[in-house]
């Protein structure tokens, strides 16, 4: 038992040292770089829409208000066999603006599934070098596209800065968690290389996309964003994560605990599928509260150390990223604990049920 406690303590000690290294190396991207560009390039904005009647109108309206030359970007919306009013909303905006183009998506074309199938068909419809993806439940700030395009002058693929919008009972908790995840993604991207990417807010050069084979090369997968990132990296292409004090995008929070757990199941599926070497340290880093509670039964001192790590390091990362991005909000002490419990339930759910759902479909 003593040897086991030493092993647990050593694991958390190593994780804490590594995260301290990431905290020291964390830095925010400089905003305002877009002002250096005098001739903005043509851009294709890609939106996947399956039964998005509640969100799609707000998303398109925010895209049409972008501070970007109106003749330099188009909005391609893939209607993925929606059964609600999504198609009617797309047609309405097509009649209002030449920038909006609706595309009916063929189900599982070429064997592709989920979002990768939709994006593959949208990209086939455009030859613009700059391809930027935004989810249908997102809203963007006016400077968002300029920041993304500016970054793509330096990178072949970029993950944008996404925040959780303020709505619903659980929005602050999810905002806290989202910032912690983004901190890790940004610090890893700067210190080593990106380990993940935000599929709801990302962009890439089409020439680079074609070079790696695109979504067709991935085959059927429900973690198409992470899979594409890894193909870019295997080909030696330059990828990065943005953290900015302007030009952010906003995503809606999950409105119920069950939805939050389902979302985490999709994230865990990506880790287990594409980053299995990181699965074990990620297991300890995210499920620390349950481990601390179990350790208390045999070693209160070890339990206290784990609690200090779980709460202390999460708050340091939260304060660091929100201060740098000028997006700080109030927080409460219990948020890291609640998030750790959500991850625990998500691990149990995916271990028992296995399948992960996307827009009402299970894969």
Listed residue (119, 33, 130) closest to 74, CA to CA = 130
pLDDT category of residue 40 using cuts at 50, 70 and 90: very high
Of the candidates 137, 172, 154, 156, which has an alpha carbon nearest to the alpha carbon of residue 63?
Answer: 137
| Nearest C-alpha neighbor of 194 from the set 133, 241, 244 | 241
Q: What is the pLDDT of residue 29?
A: 72
Task: Return all residues near 280 (Cβ < 8 A) that are at least 6 apart.
Answer: none
Q: How confident is the model at residue 32 (pLDDT cuts 50, 70, 90)?
A: very low
For residue 165, CA distances in Å to 28, 104, 279 come to: 21, 29, 29
Sign of torsion, CA 251 253 255 261?
positive
Whether pLDDT at 282 is above 80: no
User: CATH for 33-183+193-253?
Assistant: 3.90.550.10
Tell me the β-bridge partners of 139: 250
Tokens of 159: 């993950």
- The percentage of residues in the chain with a pLDDT greater than 90, rounded to a whole number, is 60
Residues 134, 254, 163: CA angle, nearest 5 degrees: 50
Every domain of the chain with CATH number 3.90.550.10 lies at 33-183+193-253
- Which has the closest alpha carbon to 359: 110, 80, 55? 80
Separation of alpha carbons 128 and 132, rounded Å: 10
Which whole number is the average pLDDT over 161-177?
88
Provide, rounded to the nearest whole percent, the portion of the chain with pLDDT above 70: 91
- Quote the pLDDT of residue 328: 67
């Amino acid at each position: 038992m003593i040897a086991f406690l030493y092993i647990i303590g050593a694991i958390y000690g190593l994780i804490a040292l590594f995260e301290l290294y990431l905290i020291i190396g964390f830095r925010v991207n400089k905003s305002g770089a877009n002002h250096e560009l005098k001739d903005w390039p043509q851009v294709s904005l890609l939106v996947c829409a399956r039964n998005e009647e509640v969100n799609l109108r707000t998303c398109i309206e925010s895209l049409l208000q972008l501070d970007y030359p109106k003749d330099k970007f188009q909005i391609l919306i893939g209607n993925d066999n929606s059964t609600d009013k999504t198609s009617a909303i797309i047609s309405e905006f097509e009649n209002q603006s030449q920038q909006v183009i609706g595309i009916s998506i063929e189900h599982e074309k070429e064997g592709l599934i989920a979002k990768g199938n939709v994006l593959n068909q949208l990209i086939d419809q455009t030859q613009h070098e700059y391809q930027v993806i935004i989810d249908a439940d997102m809203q963007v700030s006016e400077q968002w596209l300029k920041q993304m395009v500016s970054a793509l002058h330096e990178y072949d693929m970029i993950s944008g800065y996404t925040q959780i919008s303020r709505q619903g009972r659980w929005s602050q908790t999810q905002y806290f968690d989202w910032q912690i995840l983004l901190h890790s993604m940004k610090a890893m991207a700067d210190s080593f290389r990106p380990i993940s990417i935000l599929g709801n807010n990302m962009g890439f050069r089409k020439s680079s996309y074609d070079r790696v084979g695109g979504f067709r090369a991935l085959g059927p997968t429900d973690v198409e964003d992470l899979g594409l990132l890894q193909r870019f990296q295997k080909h030696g292409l330059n990828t990065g994560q943005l953290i900015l004090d302007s030009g952010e995008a906003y995503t809606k929070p999950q409105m119920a605990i069950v939805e939050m757990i389902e979302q985490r199941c999709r994230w865990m599926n990506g880790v287990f599928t594409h980053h299995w070497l990181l699965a074990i340290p990620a297991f300890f880093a995210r499920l620390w509260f349950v481990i601390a509670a179990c350790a208390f039964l045999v070693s209160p001192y070890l339990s206290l150390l784990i609690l200090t790590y779980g709460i202390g390091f999460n708050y340091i990362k939260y304060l660091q990223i929100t201060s740098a991005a000028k997006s700080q909000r109030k927080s409460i002490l219990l948020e890291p604990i609640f998030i750790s419990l959500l991850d625990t339930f998500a691990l149990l759910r995916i271990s028992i049920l296995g399948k992960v759902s996307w827009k009402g479909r299970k894969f």
